[in-house]
Chain A
Amino acid sequence: MTNKKVLIFAGRQHHFLKLAWLAMTLRQKGYEVKWVMADNMINIDPSVEYMLPLGEPFLHVLDYLDNKSQDWITPAVSEMVDQYKRSGSEIHHYIPPFVLVFSIREITECVYGFRALLSQEQPDVVLVLHENNFWTKMLAYLSTQEFRIPTFGFQEGVLRRRDQTTQNKQTTAAEYVDGLFVWSEDSKAQYTAAGVVSSKLHVVGMPHLDVYHMSQLDPKNWHAAQVAHRWSLGILNTAGTVLFAPPQLNRYEGDPSTVFRTLAMWAVNSGVNLVIRPHPLESSETKESIASMFSSGPVVTDLLLDGTMTLASSDLVLTQQSTVGVEAISLGVPAAEIDLDLTGVLESLAEQGVAHRISGERELSKIREILEGRLNLDKTVLGRWCDLNCGVRDGQASVRVASVLDGVVR
């Protein structure tokens, strides 16, 4: 048993959802785990809204401001606005100045607050879901560069070539953290190719899917859990269940205003259950609007906190989002990329032979063929790809993370 103190940043709900099982694993090993929270710009979705009902122990960065904080924050904001003006940048031609200046002030508050928090709390380890984030870049920097606190991040999703080419995202994911927990050997190779030193990289699998991978080791009980979950969504028949998990609608390739009705009509006419799962970062209004349209019969909307069990209980997942597709493949659920408007899907899984492709409304009939086992992917290709990209799926990824942290000495 250890008595190490771990702080995990969870300023957004998905940070918590992806690291909650790891937090439980660490607590079982005797770690003291606390979550770190922050406001989120104008706070239309404050992090405490999800955290307070959970009753989890958390520290809010603003609680570490003090009576002297404004003496540093306001001059620091002025200095950056002056520098911005002198730089001749044209960012304000494309982005409202409010966003720029509000974010600059938020940064100064976080730098001040994180410094005080790390100084007062003296954690042994800091964890962030990933470093390419507004708050976690600052936290990882301060934690490692100023306080020398061992700090680790995680591979958050699928590694897209485009993200590395245009935004250098894989390189910057491990700029300040001491270590990065990645899904697979292939992920490690991609990070290494992006310039991350291999000693920083720890191949552990997908910690956020541990609880599902572990449950799948007992097929009989797993099947019962899937049925129970579908019942909880209102799906009481034995017809196939298809999950539609689109990306955020402003990133949907095609016309997002017609896709829901097209799929719903098809499901009603085909006798297939359709579950619509809006992207977790979609606004509450959008989610509720979708839910109000599709809430009964064979078409229902899933607004649960975490959609992974719905994903794992489906017979097919329709998506354009590669992370959902890869999670589906990792859980043994067939995935299909949907491209009703024939706009093309970037970095397609179908092109790698591990997902189906539904191009245009005419090909919706493929769904039935997949559900009935008449249209299948090459299992050898799929298995090899899954091993390479998803890593070990034994439900022990969090244990492997904990083993690395056990060896960390501050």
Chain B
Amino acid sequence: MNTLLIASVVDEFFLAYACWRRSSNMDGTFTTLALSPDVRDAMKAVGLSPVFIDLGLRVDWAERDAAFKALALPGKLDFCIPSTDLPLWKVISLDRLSFWYGGAMQDRVIEFVGSLEFDRAIVSFDLGQPGLWFLDRFDLAEYTAVGVGRIRSRSLLDYMPALPFSQFVVNHESDARFLGRHECPCPVVWIPWPTRVMPPKVEKAEREKVRRALKITNESFVSVVRFEGLTEWAFRRWLDKRSSTIDGRVILVVAEGPRDRAIADVICQSYRRKIDLILVDSWSVEPAADEVVCFRHDQDFIESRRVKVSVMDVMDRFLSSRIADDK
């Protein structure tokens, strides 16, 4: 049996799993593909020697539009949005799917992969990477997805029934339980792997030192709030509530990255007259916090925190209650 492995992200567990599969692959070839230079370099470093797929084709827009029409206008998307007689394709195709459509470039990737001989496929689980999701067109004896990082998300919950894999490998017991509880359509294999070291709790002296630097008294209640564009609406609602409540709390908004910082800056402007609010770009202020507030359940984020996290997912938009459920 010949094995094809495609990787889209650098992940210690995935690389270890890939090495183990290669070393136990006694009965055929083991071909590896990388979808980015970073991944190629990481795989090379552990001796996997992948082929890097990079097809920088010039786009022929007329040809691309015609191919997209066959795929999605309406293609097979002519079923209606529930409770309406509005077909899905009329909303989603032109102004959303077409932006991400890979066209001829993706055809070349599919053609290239199709020219390889393989009976088994192993991919990193990555819902946002198109280069990993076309293998269900081949008749495979095994199609394994390997979870990288913490896999639980609203999008995975939503897409669960359509997962095309024959096996899902994860390295966290709680992720295995999550997949089982939410009717993952394939067997789930849990391979224990050392999880990250939990960050140390904040000591009193450190808390006071950071507060002194920020000119915040020890008596003040401090909320350190995560800003992401994705949860902007919930953030604004939370600030609305704070601005109508006089509780004397200090709010430190952490917006990482220039884009989130720019958005948060605009939004915070309209609240600065009502609330004591400081915008920062790093979690180095976290020791000053009495609580960390975020607006959706993000397991990686929560596990990285040193202070208790409150998830304020308004209307449970991000299905945080289901994603957090670890029992």
Interfacial residues, chain A to chain B (CB-CB below 8 A): 39, 41-46, 48-49, 52-53, 60, 62-63, 65-67, 69-70, 72, 74-85, 87-105, 107-109, 111, 132-134, 137-138, 141-142, 145, 162, 166-169, 172, 175, 250-251, 284-285, 346
Contact = CB atoms under 8 A, between A and B. Distances in A.
Given A52-B267, A60-B233, A167-B73, A103 B97 contact: yes
A92 B97 contact: no
Contact of A137 (B91, B110, B259): B91
Contacts of B162: 81, 84-85, 92, 97
Interface stretch (B128-136, B245-253, B276-284, B298-306): B128-136
B267 A284 contact: no
Nearest to A89: B76
A246 B269 CA distance: 33
B76 A87 contact: yes
Interface stretch (B41-49, B101-109, B189-197, B203-211): B101-109
A77 B157 CA distance: 10
Nearest to B321: A70
A89 B137 contact: no
Contact of B71 (A90, A96, A167): A90
Interface of B is mostly: helix
B90 to A, nearest CB: 6
B100 A99 contact: yes
Identify the 6 closest CB pairs spanning chains A and B, nearest first: A93-B134, A87-B76, A89-B76, A43-B229, A98-B127, A166-B65
Contacts of B315: 65-67, 69-70
A175 B155 CA distance: 31
A167 B69 contact: yes
Interface in B88-139: 88, 90-92, 94-97, 100-103, 106, 110, 127-130, 133-134, 137
Contact of B81 (A62, A80, A166, A285): A80
Contacts of A91: 71-72, 75-77, 97
User: Counting chain B CB atoms within 10 Å of each CB, which of A104, A109, A250 scores highest?
Assistant: A104
Given A96-B129, A105-B158, A346-B61, A172 B90 contact: yes
A105 B128 CA distance: 15
A288 to B, nearest CB: 9
A53 B159 CA distance: 37
Nearest to B58: A343
A66 B237 CA distance: 13
B83 A111 contact: yes
Given A96-B133, A111-B83, A81 B69 contact: no
Contact of B75 (A45, A63, A89, A99): A89
Contacts of A141: 84, 86
B65 A167 contact: yes
Given A60-B233, A93-B137, A346-B62, A111 B84 contact: yes
B92 A89 contact: no
A346 B62 CA distance: 9
Nearest to A136: B95
Contacts of A63: 233
10 contacts: A49-B263, A76-B81, A85-B162, A94-B134, A99-B96, A107-B81, A134-B95, A145-B85, A166-B68, A169-B94
B22 interface: no
A54 B102 CA distance: 37
B69 A92 contact: no
Given A67-B315, A172-B90, A81 B127 contact: no
Given A87-B77, A96-B128, A175-B90, 16 more contacts: A43-B230, A63-B233, A70-B315, A74-B319, A77-B158, A81-B159, A84-B77, A92-B133, A94-B106, A95-B100, A97-B155, A166-B65, A167-B94, A169-B94, A251-B59, A285-B259
A130 B262 CA distance: 29
A109 B66 CA distance: 30
Size class of B's contact patch? 35 or more
B226 interface: no
Interface of B: 59, 61-62, 65-66, 68-69, 71-73, 75-77, 79, 81-86, 88, 90-92, 94-97, 100-103, 106, 110, 127-130, 133-134, 137, 154-155, 158-159, 161-162, 229-230, 232-233, 236, 258-259, 262-263, 266-267, 269-270, 314-317, 319
Contacts of A52: 266-267, 269-270
A99 B100 CA distance: 8
Contacts of A100: 92, 97, 159
Given A48-B232, A52-B266, A52-B267, A132 B94 contact: yes
Given A44-B259, A48-B267, A62-B233, A137 B90 contact: yes
Nearest to B262: A284
B269 A53 contact: yes
Contacts of A167: 65, 69, 73, 94
B76 A251 contact: no
Contacts of A137: 86, 90-91, 95
Contact of B127 (A53, A62, A67, A96): A96
Contacts of B90: 137, 172, 175
A166 B66 contact: yes
A251 to B, nearest CB: 7
Contacts of A145: 84-86
A137 to B, nearest CB: 5
Contacts of B95: 132-134, 137
A193 B243 CA distance: 55
Contacts of A81: 158-159, 161-162
Contact of A101 (B159, B270, B316): B159
Contacts of B75: 89, 91
A45 B79 CA distance: 30
Nearest to A82: B161
A44 B69 contact: no
Given A39-B232, A43-B232, A89 B77 contact: yes
A104 B230 contact: no
